[in-house]
């Protein structure tokens, strides 16, 4: 039963990682598996070969909590390969309800993380504000357009995986800034083995490196780290806002015309400017579903820890 629970938590992480602006690390934190996930990854280091020589592969597998890591990874991969096509279709055909759902998910995640902080002082508030400003700065950056190549997929994997396990920053959004999000999504949909292998190798290198940093920060500066990460989450809400006006367009590496610069609008302004319905009722319903999902994950995580 416990492994099934970890599998579903991994699926929730994978579903979040597919969408720009939503962090799988946030889901891991809410469901209570971030610390054991980081501990298991952190245990994968050169000294593990010594454990293998002395005690065998089974002991090494137990040392890194291998069953837990494999279960969560299986859930993540299941979601990525299952939801990639669905998310792409929803982003194209029903963007407002979808972004409203994720807006509610992130908004309640901020509230959840703030409840985990034991005490507040001036320096911690400053860190929270710094996180908001830093995330806002990232969201206003213009995307670059990296060439689709094996090397760039490897580099993108190194960078994106750090964000994917970091509560507050979306790995998919980092890929969007690098101009490789459509290419990675296409590789997943088309099961391009070579491209996915390069991306996966980059993920492994980035994961084994960054997990040590994040784990140390959470151990030594728990509340400060949480407040900065929560600020990051709050600062990225602008990119999730469902009602936007496209100000300019660009041609991507596949020759497709895609939005380049956008600005947020109110639902009423959206109807006036674009002539399209604001879908306010479906948006509110999806917002509440997103909030309810995080609340359910929060309660589920609390029950799992007791």
Supply the mean pLDDT for the chain: 82
pLDDT at 41 over 80: yes
The conformation of residue 141, written as its DSSP 8-state character, comes to S
User: Binning pLDDT at 50, 70 and 90, where does residue 255 land?
Assistant: low
What's the helix, strand, coil split of the chain in %, to 5?
A: 75, 5, 20
DSSP string, 205-271: HHHHHHHHHHHHHHHHSHHHHHHHHHHHHHHTHHHH-S-EEEEEEEE-TTS-EEEEEEEE--HHHHH
Q: How far, in Å, CA of 170 to CA of 70, rounded?
A: 22
Q: How far, in Å, CA of 82 to CA of 60, rounded?
A: 31
Query: Residue 260 corresponds to which tokens in the numbers above?
Result: 């380049």
Three-state DSSP state, 128? helix
Burial label, 271 (beta-carbon count in 10 A; 0-12, 13-18, 19+):
middle
pLDDT at 206 over 90: no
Query: Residue 21 corresponds to which tokens in the numbers above?
Result: 């602006």
Residue 285: per-residue pLDDT: 95
Residue 117: per-residue pLDDT: 87
Average of per-residue pLDDT across 124-134: 91
pLDDT at 75 over 70: yes
Q: How far, in Å, CA of 21 to CA of 173, rounded?
A: 5
Query: Residue 67 corresponds to which tokens in the numbers above?
Result: 């069953």
Domain that holds residue 212: 2-305
Residue 92: per-residue pLDDT: 79
pLDDT digits (tens, 9 = 90+) for 44-62: 887 888 888 888 888 888 8
Above pLDDT 90, what percent of the chain?
A: 13
Count of domains for the chain? 1
């Amino acid at each position: 039963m416990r492994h099934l629970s970890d599998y579903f938590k991994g699926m929730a992480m994978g579903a979040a990682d597919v969408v720009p602006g939503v962090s799988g690390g946030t889901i891991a934190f809410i469901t209570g598996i971030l610390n054991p996930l980081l501990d298991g990854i952190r245990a994968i280091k050169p000294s593990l070969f010594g454990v293998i020589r002395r005690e065998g592969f089974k002991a090494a597998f137990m040392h890194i909590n291998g069953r837990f890591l494999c279960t969560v990874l299986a859930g993540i991969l299941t979601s990525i390969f299952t939801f990639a096509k669905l998310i792409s279709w929803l982003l194209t055909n029903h963007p407002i309800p979808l972004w409203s759902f994720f807006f509610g998910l992130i908004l309640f995640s901020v509230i959840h993380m703030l409840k985990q902080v034991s005490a507040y002082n001036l320096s911690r508030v400053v860190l929270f504000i710094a996180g908001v400003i830093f995330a806002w700065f990232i969201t206003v950056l213009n995307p670059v357009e990296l060439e689709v190549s094996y090397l760039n997929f490897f580099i993108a994997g190194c960078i994106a995986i750090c964000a994917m396990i970091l509560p507050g920053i979306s790995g998919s959004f980092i890929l969007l800034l690098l101009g490789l999000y459509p290419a990675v999504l296409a590789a997943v949909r088309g099961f391009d083995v070579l491209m996915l292998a390069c991306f996966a190798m980059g993920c492994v290198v980035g994961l084994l490196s960054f997990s040590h940093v994040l784990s140390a920060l959470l151990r030594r500066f728990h509340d400060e780290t949480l407040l900065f990460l929560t600020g990051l989450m709050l600062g990225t809400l602008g990119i999730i806002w469902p009602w936007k006006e496209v100000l300019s367009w660009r041609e991507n590496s596949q020759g497709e015309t895609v939005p380049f610069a956008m600005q947020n609008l109110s639902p009423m302004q959206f109807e006036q400017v674009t002539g399209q319905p604001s879908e306010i009722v479906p948006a509110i319903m999806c917002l509440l579903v997103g909030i309810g999902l995080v609340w359910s994950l929060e309660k589920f995580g609390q029950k799992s820890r007791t």
